Every structure is written in structure tokens, then in C-alpha cells.
Amino acid sequence: MASAVQIRDPALALYDEACRLVDQGRDAEASNRLDAALALRPDLAEAFSLGAYILERGGKAETALRFYERALDLKPALPAAWFNLAKLLTRQGRFVEALAALDKGAMFEPDDADALNTRSAVLRSLWRLDESVAAARAALKRRPVFPEAAVNLGTALLKSGRTEPALAAFSKAVAQRRDYADAICGQGLALRALDRLDEARAAFERAVKLGCREAVSGLGCLDLMLGDFERGWEGYEARWVDGKSIAEALGVRYPLWRGPCSPPQRVLVINDHGLGDTIQFARYFPMMIAAGAEPHFLCPAKLHRLIGPTLGGRIFEREPARVKFDAQIAISSLPRVFGSRLDSVPAVVPYLFAEEDRIPRWAGEIGAEGLRIGCVWQGNANPEADIARSFALKELAPLADVPGVRLVSLQSGYGEQQLWVDPPAFPVQRLSADYDAGGHAFLDAAAAMASLDLVVTCDTSMAHLAGALGRPVWVALKRDSEWRWLRGRDDSPWYPTMRLFRQKTPGDWGSVFAAMAEALRASRISA
């Protein structure tokens, strides 16, 4: 009697061989095996999923997406496909879709440490920092030696202002992988935030030696913060913009503009940071024009009305097809090419101006009574913009207690709800509903500032706006403030009408506003 022989599915055998080849980096051979497997079994979902992984690794992300979709149509209970799809979507910045894919995969495999780590990164990008921390901790609970998850944990903690625990997380990652450049750079960022500057420099320098570009930028920001602009601007050129280096963000369309020594050139200037940075560095446009350049600025349309007059209208949302340029530069690189040093920052204000026909409207609404203080308490909600810079509206109570002070809200959009959800115990004047409601940013804010005696704001774009307009402005800074505010100063070389008030300890806004109230009582502005 012949013995029964179990014959293995040849399509699965080809798939298994493809898996081994992928592990060895032999992707082309693996693809051939998958093609053969699918010829035998067109419904083999695992083959489509692995094929998608190979395609993405080869730079074919859109085709990879189609392969993942086909795999999951054939077999929804395929967690690896859901999780790898989530990673691909994350790299494309499609975070809501990535989280949905992770949720689908978790229905079949809820405790996968890699998926939990991806979830942490996605939640951080969606501004859900507490959930990001929880996901990273869950990943580490399931896989204690997981340096990537420790870095995600440290990053989420740092973004939410929990600096000491963040440093501990980054240090854990370094203990698990001694040459982990991203973790060492994270240590540098946390140490800089804790004002342990010598240790921060050592960490950045070590990460730089390991090839970490972000550490070069971190070191540059440290130098700038300490007033060493000569070294700082060089390091600042290593900054990242939306996951790209400055060189990648600019592309290679035109040569870099070399500064005022260049011959007369038509220069494409690209916006590379947020609204506050744009306002801060717009001061260089008149200097470019004086140097014989013809700057054309590429930036969001909502800034065109504010900044366009400085450029004579040469401002665009998209690169104009019919204009040919001789050179290009990022706006945040202008201080470097102009050789700005701490004692030579171009600080002539105002260099931006309110639209004259808007001023009477807001002057009439604000009125002339009392000491009129415009206030802004909430900056960008994006954790990449550092939510710890904002404070609660209620923190302004000491200012409201100063005789004659009248607070006027300049807050627009995010954070404005604090006026009616759990409102403060002191009066704050709200401007009309159409304040800053149009498609152009800051036009009403600039006009309103013309009728205010003082602007008090957190570290956000409104601080730069008030400074660029030459209006009196006091800025409340967190303990580990940005490089642009330097260290230990109550003035700003960038804005001569600005005064800085700093936290003494992290999170202590009470001392900041107590100091402001004291300054108000002591200064002529309150007379």
C-alpha cells in the first residue's frame, strides 16, 4: 500500500522563497518568484502584500498602494498588509488614513509592537500627544528592547513639554543602541531645553559624527541661541522642511543666490517655515532690492496682501510659468547670505504696514478708553510648532487687575474658544465676528494693533507681526524658548519695540504675568 504524501502548494513555496530573498536584499529575484506564484494563484493575497513592500522599497509608492489594496481586497484579515500600508501612508503624510489602516490591522493583531510604534508616530503627527506617548509605552511593554519606540516616546514627551521624561526615553534608546544618531540628537534637544548647554553641545557633536543632519541643525540653533550667528547660520542651513533638507526643498532648478555681492539677478525666494519666520525674515527683501536683486517670493496666498507691498507685488502662490529666474534661495537663508551678526541684525522698523483704510474700522470698535492691551494666548496647535509656547487665557488675570487696563482679544481661530468655554473671571473685549475672517492673514490684526497701546502675546506669529509693525509688544516666553529669543535677555535684537518676559521654571506662567503686571504699574505706559 502506497504511503500518503503531502504535496505542498507550489505557489506558497514560491512565496516563501520570495520572503527569504527579500530578507537577503535580493528584491528583483523575489519579484520574479512572486510573479510565478501569482501566475499559479492569482488570489494569493500574501504575494500582493510582499510585492507592495518590494515596490515601495524600490521607490514606486503609488503602485505599492494598489498592491496593498488588492491584497486586502482578497484577504482583509492580513494584519501585516494593514501595518505596512500604514507605514507607507505615514511617509506620504496621510496620517488619518494611516491611523485607519492601523485600526484595521489591530482588529486581527492588537499587540504587534511595530504597529504600536507606528501608531505613536502617526498620533504625534495628528497632534494627539498623550495618545502618542501611550502607544510608544505600549510598544515598549511588549518589546522592552525597542530603541525606535523609545525615540518616539521621547519625541512625543518633548513636544508636550515633559522634558525630563523625554531625556530619559532618549537615553534608554541610546543605552539599547549606542550609535543611534536620532536618539543622541534627541538627547541634545532635551538637554538644550533643560539649559544643560554643554551637555547638549556634546550630544549634538556626537550625533553629527554619526551622520545626523538634524543634529547639525540642532547645533546651529544652539549657536544662534548663544549669539554666535557666524557659526549658527551655517548649522541652520541643515534644517529640515516637511521632511526634506533645504537643498531637497529648493530643488536644483536654479543656482543658489550668493547674496549682495552677486550681480543683478532675478531671484526666486521660497518660503521654508511658518508664518512667524516669514514675517521675521521679510525684512531682507528691501535689502535684496537695494543690492540690485529682483526678489520674487513664493509663499501661501494668505500672506500676499501683508507682504506683497514690500516686494512691489512680486509675490506668488505657485512659481510663475513665464518668469525665468537667475537664482533661488530660501527666505530663512537670507540672514546667512547677508552676514547678519548679533550686533548687525537689520532692525529698522516698521518694515510691514497696516492697510490704511482698515485702521478706522478697528479704531472705532476698540475705542479710546483706558490702556488698551491686545492679547494673544494660543499659537499653532501643531505639535511641530511647540504647543508648550502657549498659555491659558486665564493667566492674563494679573494684567487685568492693573488699574485702567482694558484687554482686547486679538486671538483668531484655534484657542479663541477659551473666551466662551470656561471664560475668565475678568473682562476681555471680543472684536467682531469678521475679524481676520477673510482669506488674507493678519490684515485686520495689523490694523487693530494701530489702535492699541500694547500687544501681549505668546511666542507666535502675532509677536513677529507686532514687532515688524513697530508696535509695542511684550512676549511671554517658556523656559526653553526658541533660538531667536537668545538667552537671558529681555530685549530682542530683531525687534526694537519688543520686550521679553521669560518663565523662571518650566510651565510657570504665573511669574511671567506677575512680572508684566509689575512692569505695567511701573512704566509710563500705564500712566
Check: CB of residue 84 under 8 Å from CB of residue 103.
no
Rounded to the nearest angstrom, the gap between the alpha carbon of residue 485 and the centroid of all alpha carbons in its chain is 18
The whole-number pLDDT of residue 463 equals: 97
Check: CB of residue 222 under 8 Å from CB of residue 206.
no
Please give the residue range of the domain that contains residue 395.
356-526
Which of 337, 364, 391 is the last residue in one of the domains? 337
Give domain status of residue 442, yes or no.
yes
Please tell me the distance from the alpha carbon of residue 42 to that of residue 22, in angstroms, as a whole number.
20
Task: Tell me: do 199 and 306 sit in the same domain.
Answer: no
Please tell me the distance from the alpha carbon of residue 383 to that of residue 156, in angstroms, as a whole number.
9
Number of domains within the chain: 3
Task: Tell me: do 264 and 288 sit in the same domain.
Answer: yes
| Residue bearing cell 542651513 | 237
Give the count of alpha carbons within 13 A of 329, CB side only: 28
Give domain status of residue 70, yes or no.
no
Please tell me the distance from the alpha carbon of residue 400 to that of residue 519, in angstroms, as a whole number.
13
The whole-number pLDDT of residue 458 equals: 96
Task: Tell me: do 229 and 271 sit in the same domain.
Answer: no
Give domain status of residue 302, yes or no.
yes
Residue 384 belongs to domain with CATH number: 3.40.50.2000
Task: Tell me: do 258 and 220 sit in the same domain.
Answer: no
Which of 276, 303, 337 is the last residue in one of the domains? 337
Q: Which one-letter amino acid corresponds to residue 341?
A: R
Task: Tell me: do 297 and 419 sit in the same domain.
Answer: no
Please tell me the distance from the alpha carbon of residue 524 to that of residue 472, in angstroms, as a whole number.
13
The whole-number pLDDT of residue 369 equals: 94
Please tell me the distance from the alpha carbon of residue 364 to that of residue 413, in angstroms, as a whole number.
23
Q: Could you tell me where the beta strands, DSSP code E, fall in 377-483?
A: 405-409, 454-458, 473-477
Task: Tell me: do 333 and 364 sit in the same domain.
Answer: no
Task: Tell me: do 224 and 280 sit in the same domain.
Answer: no
Q: Left (φ > 0), alpha (ψ -120 to 50) or beta: where does 67 sit?
A: alpha
The whole-number pLDDT of residue 104 equals: 96
Give domain status of residue 135, yes or no.
no
Task: Tell me: do 283 and 378 sit in the same domain.
Answer: no
Backbone torsions φ then ψ of 405, nearest 5 degrees: -75, 140
Tens of each residue's pLDDT in the chain, 527 residues: 344 445 568 989 999 999 999 999 998 999 999 999 999 999 999 999 999 999 998 889 999 999 999 999 999 999 999 999 999 999 998 999 999 999 999 999 999 999 999 999 999 999 899 999 999 999 999 999 999 999 999 999 998 889 999 999 999 999 999 999 999 999 999 999 999 999 999 999 999 999 998 999 999 999 999 999 999 999 999 886 655 666 666 666 789 999 999 899 999 999 988 899 999 999 999 999 999 999 999 999 999 999 999 888 799 988 888 888 999 999 999 999 999 999 999 999 999 999 999 999 999 999 999 999 999 999 876 645 567 789 999 999 999 999 999 999 999 888 889 999 888 999 999 999 889 888 888 999 999 999 999 999 999 999 999 999 999 999 999 988 999 999 999 999 999 999 999 999 888 999 999 999 999 999 865 44
Task: Tell me: do 405 and 510 sit in the same domain.
Answer: yes
Give domain status of residue 278, yes or no.
yes
Task: Please give the model's pTM, rounded to 2 decimal places.
Answer: 0.85
Give domain status of residue 295, yes or no.
yes
Q: Which residue in 180, 111, 192 sits closest to 152, CA to CA?
A: 180
Task: Tell me: do 186 and 318 sit in the same domain.
Answer: no
Q: What's the CA dihedral at 252, 258, 260, 263 to 10 degrees?
A: -70
| Residue bearing cell 507592495 | 52
Check: CB of residue 114 under 8 Å from CB of residue 144.
no
